[in-house]
């Protein structure tokens, strides 16, 4: 029997729609600027940029409709509505035509960003992991099994704050399809069951304040609501 110097942390997990079982989360990967209109609003050319990735720690999850604590050291917390792919299998160097075989289900996510921290890091040429991977930075709703949703390649994705629409687009507007994202990411890192992939956000990202009520809707997945604490 293994002995530890202190109790090991529990594995973060997400609820599964229609089941008492939980989806264990291993790692969280995010693809940046995967919608052309969002790439442009961030000052980049979507026609020339290959996909790039960053990650968040699994214990940064805000699960379901839990309150979002406003993070320290920022005056510009911003929302990013995203489709989240939840992997039930893994591998390396996965071909595009087999990439979707890794997906177990889908969820609604919000890739929270300390935008001012990110901007300062970019200006200084430093990593901006703490602008993306801070505590409670990865909001994620319950996992919808693939058997209930299929692979949502198109459909509305939208985010509102206090009833006012901020972001609205279609999943078909992704620059790189989910299959391509999985395949490209698997060339860089070994993917495993329990990995989450946040697939990018449409234009309209914007600031949040304590007390704001956020609602994200994705076709086929319903909606997710959270309040900034």
pLDDT tens digit sequence for 85-95: 999 999 999 99
Is 166 inside a domain boundary?
yes
Is 49 inside a domain boundary?
yes
Q: What are 215's two structure tokens?
A: 């609602």
State the residue range of the domain holding 181: 13-227
Asked if 149 and 107 count as a contact pair (C-beta separation under 8 A), the reply is no
For the chain, what is the radius of gyration of the CA atoms?
A: 17
Where b means 16+ CB within 10 Å and e means fewer, 20-53 reads: eeebebebbbbbbbbbbebbeeeeeeeeeeebee
1 vs 24: CA distance, rounded Å: 23
When divided into structural domains, the chain yields a total of 1
From the number of C-beta atoms within 10 Å of its C-beta (0-12, 13-18, 19+), residue 180 rates as middle
* Residue 152 φ then ψ, to 5°: -75, 90
Is 6 inside a domain boundary?
no
What local confidence, expressed as pLDDT, does residue 36 receive?
A: 75
What local confidence, expressed as pLDDT, does residue 46 receive?
A: 64
Within the chain, residue ranges assigned H as helices are 36-41, 96-99, 115-124, 129-132, 146-149, 178-188
Q: How far is the first Cα of the chain from the last one, in angstroms, to the nearest whole number?
A: 42
3-state secondary structure of 130: helix
Is 20 inside a domain boundary?
yes
CATH code where residue 205 lies: 3.90.850.10
Is 5 inside a domain boundary?
no
Is 7 inside a domain boundary?
no
Is 8 inside a domain boundary?
no
Q: Does the pLDDT value for residue 26 go beyond 70?
A: yes
Residue appearing with tokens 């990650």: 55
From the number of C-beta atoms within 10 Å of its C-beta (0-12, 13-18, 19+), residue 208 rates as buried
pTM of the shown model:
0.95
* Tens digits of residue pLDDT in 111-160: 999 999 999 999 999 999 999 999 999 999 999 999 999 999 999 999 99
Q: Does the pLDDT value for residue 225 go beyond 70?
A: yes
């Amino acid at each position: 029997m293994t002995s530890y110097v202190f109790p090991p942390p529990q594995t973060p997990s997400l609820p599964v729609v229609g089941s008492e079982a939980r989806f264990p989360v291993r790692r969280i990967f995010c693809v940046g600027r995967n919608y052309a209109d969002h790439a442009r609003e961030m000052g980049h050319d979507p026609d020339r940029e290959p996909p790039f990735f960053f990650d968040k720690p699994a214990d940064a999850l805000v699960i379901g409709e839990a309150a979002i604590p406003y993070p320290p050291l920022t005056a510009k917390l911003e929302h990013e509505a995203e489709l989240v792919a939840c992997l039930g299998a893994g591998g390396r160097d996965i071909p595009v035509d087999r990439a979707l075989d890794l997906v177990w289900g889908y969820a609604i996510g919000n890739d929270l960003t300390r935008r001012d921290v990110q901007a300062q890091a970019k200006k200084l040429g430093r990593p901006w992991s703490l602008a993306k991977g801070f505590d409670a930075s990865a909001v994620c709703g319950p996992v919808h099994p693939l058997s209930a949703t299929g692979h949502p390649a198109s459909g509305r994705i939208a985010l509102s704050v206090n009833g006012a629409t901020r972001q609205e687009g279609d999943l078909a507007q992704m620059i790189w399809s989910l299959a391509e994202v999985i395949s490209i990411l698997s060339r860089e890192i070994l993917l495993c069951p329990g990995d989450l992939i946040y697939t990018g956000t449409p234009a309209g990202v914007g600031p949040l304040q304590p007390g704001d009520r956020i609602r994200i809707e994705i076709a086929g997945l319903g909606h997710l609501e959270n309040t900034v604490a």
